[in-house]
């Protein structure tokens, strides 16, 4: 297991992985909701072997990082961590919630970002009105309303598979890892606690100002509403494109780490040769 470090923020300690050569080009891997930086355990070794310095934080309220006790933005936490590490012009690689954090950071802190890679999310809230997404979202909502943690977690895990296959068609090791990470985060919270998250204002409009290269690496089996938000981002930014990974769902880096790394390293080669 990769060693976990801690950064003492203004609102409690935030955990992060920092692997690879100190003078390597910095990649920051931003995880999905309810999980943590160990989501990238199968991706980090190959990137380090390729000479990159890889930072994978646990977002506030997730994994080993402190919960929020006051209003906050994840992009501000990320900027504070990068400044603590003396890093700028990093490449942000975000999956799902991590993609949203990456977009926020690229808008709010353009001086810190050299390029942006997103997977499974982009701009605005997803349209979950298709039959499969609506059913899963309703199942989670009902479980949350009744305080049924196990039921909520079962609904959450369905997003791994997506609408075109069953969860039993996904590698059980991946399902078990996501379950473990999600439990680690969910057990840190109570249903009645305040939500201290503050959104970045006018994001959909300001995203047009993202001048760095943007790549979306999406799973073809992901929910259509989630994929549409990534498409919206790529249409909005001046320098964006999409790669679709066949046979892969929402957790692209976990289901297809070798293919994701191949696409990522090809993109990085273009970014650093420009």
Residue 57, classed as helix, strand or coil, is strand
The answer to whether the CB of 160 falls within 8 A of the CB of 170 is yes
The answer to whether the CB of 27 falls within 8 A of the CB of 91 is yes
Other C-beta atoms lying within 10 Å of the C-beta of residue 211: 12
Kindly provide the b/e burial profile for residues 212-245, where b requires at least 16 CB atoms within 10 angstroms of the residue's own CB: bbbbbbbbebbbbbbbebbbbbbebbeebebbeb
State residue 2's pLDDT score: 66
State residue 192's pLDDT score: 86
What would the two tokens of residue 110 be? 């353009």
Which burial class, exposed, middle or buried, applies to 95 when counting CB atoms under 10 A from its CB (0-12, 13-18, 19+)? Answer: buried
Q: List per-block mean pLDDT (blocks of 10 residues) for the chain, which spans 274 residues.
A: 86 97 97 97 96 98 97 98 97 98 98 98 95 94 90 95 96 97 94 93 94 98 98 97 98 98 97 91
Considering only CA atoms, which of 95, 123, 86 is closest in space to residue 29?
Answer: 95
Please name each of the domains of the chain with its CATH number.
4-127+195-273 (3.40.50.1820), 131-186 (no CATH)
State residue 274's pLDDT score: 80
How far apart are alpha carbons 260 and 258 in whole angstroms? 5
Give the global pTM.
0.97
Residue 212 per-residue DSSP state: S
């Amino acid at each position: 297991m990769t060693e976990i470090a801690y950064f003492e923020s203004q609102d409690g300690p935030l955990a992060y992985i920092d692997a690879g050569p100190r003078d390597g080009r910095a990649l920051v891997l931003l995880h999905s909701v309810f999980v943590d930086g160990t989501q990238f355990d199968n991706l980090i070794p190959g990137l380090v072997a390729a000479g990159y310095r890889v930072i994978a934080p646990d977002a506030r309220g997730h994994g080993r990082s402190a919960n929020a006790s006051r209003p906050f933005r994840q992009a501000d936490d990320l900027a504070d961590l990068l400044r603590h590490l003396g890093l700028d012009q990093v490449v942000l690689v975000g999956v799902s919630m991590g993609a949203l954090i990456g977009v926020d950071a690229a808008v709010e802190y353009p001086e810190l970002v050299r390029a942006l890679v997103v997977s499974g999310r982009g701009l605005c809230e997803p349209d979950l009105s298709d039959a499969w997404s609506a059913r899963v979202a309703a199942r989670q909502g009902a479980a949350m309303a009744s305080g049924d943690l196990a039921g909520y977690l079962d609904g959450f895990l369905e997003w791994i598979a997506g609408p075109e296959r069953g969860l039993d068609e996904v590698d059980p090791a991946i399902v078990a890892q996501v379950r473990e990470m999600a439990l680690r985060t969910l057990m840190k919270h109570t249903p009645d606690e305040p939500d201290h998250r503050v959104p970045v204002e006018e994001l959909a409009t300001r995203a047009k100002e993202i001048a760095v290269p943007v790549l979306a690496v999406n799973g073809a089996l992901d929910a259509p509403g989630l994929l549409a938000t990534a498409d919206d981002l790529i249409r909005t930014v001046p320098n964006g494109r999409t790669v679709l990974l066949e046979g892969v769902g929402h957790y692209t880096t976990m289901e297809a780490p070798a293919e994701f790394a191949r696409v990522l390293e090809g993109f990085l080669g273009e970014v650093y040769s420009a």
